[in-house]
Chain A
Amino acid sequence: MFRKYMVLLRMKYVEMFAYQLATIVWVVGAMIQPLITMIVWMNIYPQESDSFVLYFTLLILVERMTSAWDVWELDREIREGTFSYHIVRPMHPIHWAIAENIIYKGLFLAVLLPIWIIVAFFVPALQPHMDWAQWGMFVVAILLGAAIRFLFSYTCGLLGFWVTKVSAIYGVFEAVSLFFSGRIAPLSLLPPVMQEISLYLPFRYMIGFPVEIATGAVTGEAVGFGFLGSAVWVSLLLMVLGLLWRAGLKKNQAVGG
Chain B
Amino acid sequence: MQRHWRIFREFFRTCLVEELEYRSEFIGNLLSSVFGIGIAILTIQIFFYQTDQLGGWVYEDVIILLGIFNFLQGLIDFALRPNMSRLLQHIRRGTLDYVLTKPVDSMFYVSFRHLVFWRLIDVVLGGGLIVYGLMQKQYIPSLSDFLMFVVSMFSSIVLIYALWMLLMTTAFWVIRMDDLSFVFNSFFETTRFPITMYQGWLRIVLTYVLPAAFITSTPAAALLGQWNGVTTLVSLVVAGVFLWLSRRFWRFALRSYTSASS
- List residues of chain A with CB under 8 Å of any chain B CB: 19, 21-22, 25-26, 28-29, 32-33, 36, 39-41, 43-45, 165, 168, 171-172, 175, 178-179, 184-185, 189-191
Which of A33, A41, A178, A179 interacts with B189 by CB under 8 Å? A33
Write the chain B residue with the least CB distance to A168.
Answer: B32
5 extra interface residue pairs, beta carbon distance < 8 Å, beyond A32-B187, A33-B186, A39-B197 = A36-B193, A175-B36, A189-B49, A190-B46, A191-B49
Contacting residues, chain B, for A184 (C-beta < 8 A):
43, 46
Flag B3-35 by CB within 8 Å of A: 1 or 0 each: 000000000000000000000000010001001
A63 CB to closest chain B CB, in angstroms? 15
CA distance A22 to B158 in the complex (A): 28
- Is B231 an interface position by the 8 A CB rule? no
Q: Within the complex, which residue of A21, A44, A178, A191 is in contact with B51, where a contact is CB–CB below 8 Å?
A: A44
6 CB contacts below 8 A, A to B, read: A29-B183, A32-B190, A43-B54, A184-B46, A189-B50, A191-B49
Contact (Cβ within 8 A) B197 A43: yes
In the bound complex, residues from chain B placing their C-beta under 8 Å from that of A190 are: 46, 49
- Does B39 sit at the interface, judged by CB under 8 A? yes
Residues of B that sit less than 8 Å from A by CB:
28, 32, 35-36, 39, 42-43, 46-47, 49-51, 54-55, 174, 176-178, 182-183, 185-187, 189-190, 192-193, 197-198, 202
Contact, CB under 8 Å: B178 / A178: no
Nearest chain B residue, comparing its CB with the CB of A28: B186
CB-based closest 3 A-B pairs: A32-B186, A44-B51, A29-B186
Query: Which residues of A lie under 8 Å from residue B43 when comparing CB positions?
Result: 178-179, 184
A175 partner, pick from B35, B176, B177, beta carbons under 8 A: B35
Please indicate the chain A residues that have their CB under 8 angstroms from the CB of B178 in the complex.
22
